[in-house]
Amino acid sequence: MEIPKRFRGKVAIVTASTQGIGFAIAERLGLEGASVVISSRKQQNVDAAAEKLRAKGIEVLAVVCHVSNAQQRKDLIDKTVQKYGKIDVVVSNAAANPSVDPILQTKDSVLDKLWEINVKTCILLLKDAVPHMQKGSSVVIISSITGFNPPSSLAMYGVTKTALLGLTKALAAEMAPYTRVNCVAPGFVPTNFSSFLTTNDAVRQELEGKTLLGRLGTTEDMAAATAFLASEDASYITGETIVVSGGMPSRL
Ligand code: NAP
């Protein structure tokens, strides 16, 4: 398939983008012509990911940004604006899942961490980004299929992902008509994040069996949907969530 060039001249920030879904999104936007700003917590991961993207001819700025660190969030935005002068796309992709406990047995500190990383930092990053966002710009928030029906092993994580579905609607209203805000809810994708599920053969088969297409997702599947929503092809879509789950049960 020939990749279109929908992001020529555009500047895209993707959080948590040194591997997995975030990396694939940065790669896709970059291959489509965007200057991409990648980030994650560890300098060595940021450097390695930047090198891989540059090897594919992608223009990259690489910044260390733990999304919970206010100074690092500010640096991410400031360095982007210093280098490229504007922001066209923000993809909020960072998340944590520090617990598999039932919700009522989850420690207070873990509840705080889940809300902070999965929901609050998305808002805080956008607060910093908004003054630099262009007319026609776009935000894509990465939620999860678990946001629709939080499974017992991912219950509180799932609830934070439910919150992102509402956040998408609320921000779409606040940021319209200048900026569109949409959401991608991935199904299960083998990455480090999900390896505790997807490397277990029995669990993997059970998850595959819950899809209509008979397979787990790929990071490229998630990147393609994100690129669509961020692009002009989706110029009349805002406040929406696309479920990219191979047909797993989500909603009518
Ligand atoms: P992944 O492959 O494990 O990658 C996680 C990335 O995030 C790495 O680049 C990591 O780099 C960075 N990171 C972790 N914590 C961070 C933080 N606090 N601040 C900044 N960067 C951080 O994960 P993934 O599966 O692609 O998940 C990405 C998103 O997709 C998450 O929002 C997740 O909830 C969502 N999702 C995933 C699945 C799935 O099945 N994989 C399904 C539904 C939704 P460093 O270690 O260098 O920080």
Structural domain spans, the chain: 11-244
The band of 210, judged by pLDDT with boundaries at 50, 70 and 90, is: very high
* Cβ neighbourhood burial of 115 (10 Å; 0-12, 13-18, 19+): middle
Give the pLDDT score at 181. Answer: 99
Res 8: pLDDT: 98
- Angle, helices 108-115 vs 155-175, to 10°: value is 30
Question: 11-244: which CATH number, 3.40.50.1000, 3.40.50.970, 3.90.550.50, 3.40.50.720?
Answer: 3.40.50.720
Q: Measure 192 CA to ligand 1 centroid, in angstroms.
A: 8
pTM beyond cutoff 0.95: yes
Residue ranges lining ligand 1, Cβ < 6 Å:
15-22, 40-42, 45, 65-68, 93-95, 117, 142, 144, 186, 188-189, 191-194
pLDDT band at 98 (very low <50, low <70, confident <90, very high): confident
E strands in the chain? 11-14, 35-40, 60-64, 87-92, 133-142, 179-186, 241-244
Q: Whose CA is nearest to atom 9 of ligand 1?
A: 18
HSE-CB at 218 with a 13 A cutoff on CA atoms is 6
- Residue 1, pLDDT above cutoff 80: no
For range 150-171, the mean pLDDT: 97
Choose, from 84, 157, 178, 236, the residue flagged as catalytic.
157
pLDDT given at position 99: 86
pLDDT of residue 152: 93
> How much is the mean pLDDT over the chain?
97
Q: Based on the residue annotation, tell me whether 157 is a catalytic residue of this protein.
A: yes
The whole-number average pLDDT for the span 234-240 is: 98
Q: Which two tokens stand for residue 201?
A: 């053969």
